[in-house]
Amino acid sequence: MNAVALDRRPPRIRGPALRRALIAGARRVIADRDVLNKINVFPVPDGDTGSNLAFTLGSVLTGALSRRTAGAGELMRQVGEDAIDGARGNSGAILAQFFTGVAERLGDRIAIEPGVLADAVRAGSLSARQALSEPREGTILSVISAFADKLDGAAGVRDLRRWFAPALAQARRALADTTRQLAVLQRAGVVDAGAQGFVDLLEGIDEYMDSGRTDAHGPIEEELADLEAAEVHEEILDADPEHRWCSECLLLGGGLDRAGLRAAVGELGASCVVIAGSQSRVRLHAHVADPQALFNLAARFGRVESTKADDMRAQARTAAGAGSVAIITDSSADLPEGLVESLNIHVVPLRLNFGDQDYLDKISLTPQEFYRKLREEVVLPRTSQPSPGDFRRQFEFLLSHHPSLVYLGVSRAVSGTIQSAETAAQRGHPERTHVFDSANAAGGLALLAIAAAEAAQRGLAAADILAMLEPMRARTLTWAMTRDLTMAVRGGRVPAWGKPLVQGLGLTPVAKVTPKGKLSLAGGLIGKKDVPAKFGRYVARRVDRATRWRIIVGHCDARGDGEALLATLQAELDCVQGWLVETGPAVGAHAGPGALVASLQPWTPANT
């Protein structure tokens, strides 16, 4: 073959070049995530599309794109798998399915010609569309299709950038059209956020092809109507409660039945359903009223991992009311009903399991359901802290709408939750993320979170909130008592001989959270009559009666006892505010049903 014939051959794209191009595209999307969050109004205005795409592509950057690979086909297979594993939200799951479809068409090719890649992109576009139960035009699907349709598969390609440029231009036109295709976008004066994210990906790739640089630079101008978009975000506050939870999980197995799964999810009445993946890994995304019902259904088709459920109402409140410091805590805080919404407090759920069944605390398993299972199940429950990824996802979302955040965590002395949050903060924006050890739990942690949220609503900066919390931490007091040591004995926290000894003496043990955040035995109550009232008087004798107090009483499936304890404390002390809450697994898994927790914090006029 002569030199002229060799020169006429189309260029071939190999693994290293494809890897660098995808790195450039992914970084461009991640750099633009705050803009994408601001314009996110469809399918629901929860302001997290940018964060979801960033997490999806972040899992690819730290996975397949962090390793060298010889073959383009193998690279795309790994990209697809990592994207499925890390997919977040509608757009993230759709993008992951696009990558998976491209990879399936490429197979194990070492190098690919433009025509082969064009065919694979069209296959990826079809695969992404098939992942949705109700595909809509004016979304990321439309832009992917426009790009795929314009990508020329002719054999005469000589210049890759000239081959790529017309398809990119077509994608940009399709992006502009999204405003006219969906009324909600037209009303807000924005393009579809997921569609913009896909164009960002293509523009990053195009920039790499032009300059060889993989670092994102030259951020997109914010020409979008932020005010109008924020007003649309408010609409979700009155959204259908049947679709409140944006829920996801990963299914693993062999020969996963995606068609059967889609039909079953449809019968559940879910909306915004995306089922993306392959025969061995599937990412399920859906908006539902009951996340655990979705996870239980998914478990019929494969092994369920990486469950998550985001409250879209809480996300919409943040998107609509950005500006102040964001306050976030974990689900070991016993927050009174209604205050989470009125004070815009965000909560990262702890994880717990009964045997092989995993749950998200207070989301996929309510306290009432927890205590029912606690009585019925033979196996003991286990609680675990949220992973750094759980925190990082929440932190990234909040920081896209707020200048900074303060996380108040359960005592470092009793849980690794604080360390998990610190790890997430260091990997994200440590200068804007402030982690505060409450040295408390249950109602005590809740009282500190409430005070912080009130300060944020008054406009205090993060440094001022932390300065306020420091002295307040030592003055926030928590006691606990339980009449039944069965759970403590079963869990190994109390020796077996302790239970009959305590019962024989007619004692009810009382514990207190120490200044270092540990729960330590503080004394006992004599007699088995009127124990809640005795506990209330015990606590009242150990605090300053001249102080005005805020009080949270938590009960472990013992509402009547909790009401009696709160009434006693209100009678004995100057109680400005008092709440009764049901304490969750963070306490209940160790103390068992019937336990009571009393948390007190001095009240000041600033609290109102």
- Name the 3-class secondary structure at 201: helix
Whether 195 has a pLDDT exceeding 80, the answer reads yes
**471 is written with which tokens?**
């002295």
Q: What is the mean pLDDT of residues 413-426?
A: 87
Whether 148 has a pLDDT exceeding 70, the answer reads yes
- Type of residue found at 197: G
Structural domains of the chain sorted by starting position, each given as residue range(s) with its CATH number in brackets: 9-216 (1.25.40.340), 477-607 (3.30.1180.10)
577 DSSP β-pair partners: 550
What pLDDT, in 10s, does the model give residues 104-134? 999 999 999 999 999 999 999 999 999 887 8
Q: What is the mean pLDDT of residues 461-488?
A: 88
- Type of residue found at 580: L
Q: Percentage of residues in the chain with pLDDT exceeding 90?
A: 45
What pLDDT, in 10s, does the model give residues 355-401? 767 788 888 888 888 888 888 876 777 777 888 888 888 898 888 88
139 against 231, higher pLDDT: 139
Cα angle value 446/462/425 (rounded, 5°) = 80
What pLDDT, in 10s, does the model give residues 562-598? 999 999 999 999 999 999 999 988 887 777 888 999 9
pLDDT score for 498: 47
Distance CA 83, CA 277 (A): 9
Distance CA 95, CA 83 (A): 8
Q: What is the mean pLDDT of residues 326-347?
A: 92
Q: What 3 state SS string does 287-341 have? A: EECCHHHHHHHHCCCCEEEEEEEEEHHHHHHHHHCECECEEEEECCECCCCCHHH
What pLDDT, in 10s, does the model give residues 272-314? 888 988 888 898 999 998 898 999 999 999 988 888 888 887 7
Distance CA 56, CA 584 (A): 31
Q: Give the residue among 452, 474, 324, 472 at the shortest CA–CA distance from 398.
A: 324
Q: What is the per-residue DSSP string for 409-472?
A: ES-TTT-SHHHHHHHHHHHS-TTTEEEEE-S--HHHHHHHHHHHHHHHHTT--HHHHHHHHHHH
pLDDT score for 541: 95
pLDDT score for 476: 97
For the ranges 147-151, 212-216, 304-308, 315-319, the one whose mean pLDDT is highest? 147-151
pLDDT score for 428: 81
Cα angle value 7/9/10 (rounded, 5°) = 120
Cα angle value 370/372/375 (rounded, 5°) = 110
Query: 506 pLDDT band (50/70/90 cuts)?
Result: low
Neighbours of 48 (CB within 10 A): 35
Whether 315 has a pLDDT exceeding 90, the answer reads no
pLDDT score for 2: 44
Torsion of CA 185, 190, 191, 193, to 10 degrees: -90
Strand duo 519-526 + 507-513: pairing:
antiparallel
Q: What is the mean pLDDT of residues 183-198?
A: 91
Query: 58 pLDDT band (50/70/90 cuts)?
Result: confident
For the ranges 49-63, 178-192, 266-280, 453-467, the one whose mean pLDDT is highest? 453-467
Whether 193 has a pLDDT exceeding 90, the answer reads yes
Q: What is the mean pLDDT of residues 428-448?
A: 94
What pLDDT, in 10s, does the model give residues 521-570? 788 888 788 999 999 999 999 999 999 999 999 999 999 999 999 999 99
Q: Are 167 and 199 in contact (CB under 8 A)?
A: no
Whether 6 has a pLDDT exceeding 80, the answer reads no
Whether 445 has a pLDDT exceeding 50, the answer reads yes
pLDDT, averaged across the chain: 84
Whether 19 has a pLDDT exceeding 50, the answer reads yes
> Rounded to an integer, what is the distance from CA 295 to the centroid of its chain?
16
DSSP structure class, residue 109: -
Q: Give the residue among 315, 583, 307 at the shortest CA–CA distance from 443.
A: 583
- Name the 3-class secondary structure at 279: coil
Q: Are 94 and 80 in contact (CB under 8 A)?
A: no
pLDDT score for 5: 43
92 against 495, higher pLDDT: 92
Spell out the residues 6+ positions from residue 441 whose beta carbon is closer than 8 angstroms to its own: 332, 333, 410, 411, 414, 478, 513, 519, 586, 587
Q: Percentage of residues in the chain with pLDDT exceeding 70?
A: 87
Q: What is the mean pLDDT of residues 8-18?
A: 82
